[in-house]
Structure formats: C-alpha cells, structure tokens
Copies of this chain bind each other. A is one copy, B any other.
Amino acid sequence: MVKTLLLTLFIMITCIACSHESSAISKEIIALEKSALERWNRGDINGYLDIYANDIVYFDPMIDRRMDGLNKLEEYYKPWEGKINITECEMIDPKVQAVDNMAVLTFNLRSVEDNIVYNWNCTEVYRKEGDNKWKIIQTHWSYVKAVQN
C-alpha cells in the first residue's frame, strides 16, 4: 500500500516536472520568435538571422525551391533591410511541441503592410545547440488559402 502510494507520488511529481519543463521550453521558444518578428516588422533582418543555425533550411511563397544554409538566407534577406514596415501583426494560437533539444513552433499570423492584409501559416523548428541556445533550423512560411501562380 505504502509502495503504491509512493510510486503514485513519484509519477505525479515526474509528470509535474516534465510539464513545467515543457511549458518553460514553450515560453522560451515563443518569446524568441516574437522578439525576432518584432524586429523584422520594423525592417531589422538580424532579429531572425541572429537565431538561424548555419544549417537552416527555408521555404516561403516567393522562392522556387527550398533554400539551404545561413549564407543564402543572409543574401536573400539583405535587400529587405530597413525596407519593411508592418503596421499590424497578430500571432494566432502559437503551439510548441518539444523534446529536450528540439522543438517545433507553429502558428497562424495576420499582418498588415501598406494597408494589405497577409494571412500566414508558419512552422519553425528550433534545435538546442551546444551552448544551450535555441536556434532555428527550419522555417516554412506560406499564405493561408493560397493558389498556384
């Protein structure tokens, strides 16, 4: 009886600890993304570039195939530096699914630039690096209800 109670208590404490850990990862990842996004919205491309891993892979609706590697992303983002002015931005229902050293963040996003509304799907995959910092290894932006061009 005592053994069963102790085992139950142990399982409960483990579950609570795991849930706290997962919730902590979730908060950290969402905060990283929001910070990079806020910088992007006012034309600062380094918010994202600073948290991209060297081996990042990337999709958005403007490119014709997957883009691989931080160097390519740096070149690709360069022309946008200082030229973005998002006037409204709402991250909708962010969700993080994580293991110890990898996590996937998904959300919808509504943004407004030059009075045009953009509705986005977004998937970011984060990996915990050797220095214990989370970096993005995969980004996928797509328009909601898009059609082929």
> With an 8 A cutoff between CB atoms, is A10 at the interface?
no
| Chain B residue at smallest Cβ distance from A106 | B57
The answer to whether A108 touches B148, judged by C-beta atoms less than 8 angstroms apart, is no
A145 to B64, CA, bound (A): 6
> With an 8 A cutoff between CB atoms, is A87 at the interface?
no
> With an 8 A cutoff between CB atoms, is A144 at the interface?
yes
Contact size range, A: 35 or more
A50 to B26, CA, bound (A): 27
Residue in B57, B64, B138 whose beta carbon sits within 8 Å of that of A144 in the complex: B64
The answer to whether A148 touches B146, judged by C-beta atoms less than 8 angstroms apart, is yes
> With an 8 A cutoff between CB atoms, is A33 at the interface?
no
The answer to whether A140 touches B143, judged by C-beta atoms less than 8 angstroms apart, is no
Residue in B61, B93, B97 whose beta carbon sits within 8 Å of that of A147 in the complex: B61
Q: Tell which of A34-42, A74-82, A117-125 binds the partner.
A: A117-125
Residues of chain A from 83 to 113 with CB closer than 8 A to chain B in the complex: 92-93, 95, 97, 99, 101-102, 104, 106-108
Residue in B65, B95, B118 whose beta carbon sits within 8 Å of that of A57 in the complex: B95
User: Known interface pairs A65-B92, A66-B107, A93-B66. Does A59 touch B123 (Cβ–Cβ under 8 Å)?
Assistant: yes
User: Other than the known A61-B146, A66-B95, A99-B127, what 7 A-B pairs have Cβ atoms closer than 8 Å?
Assistant: A59-B106, A59-B123, A99-B101, A106-B140, A123-B138, A143-B147, A147-B149
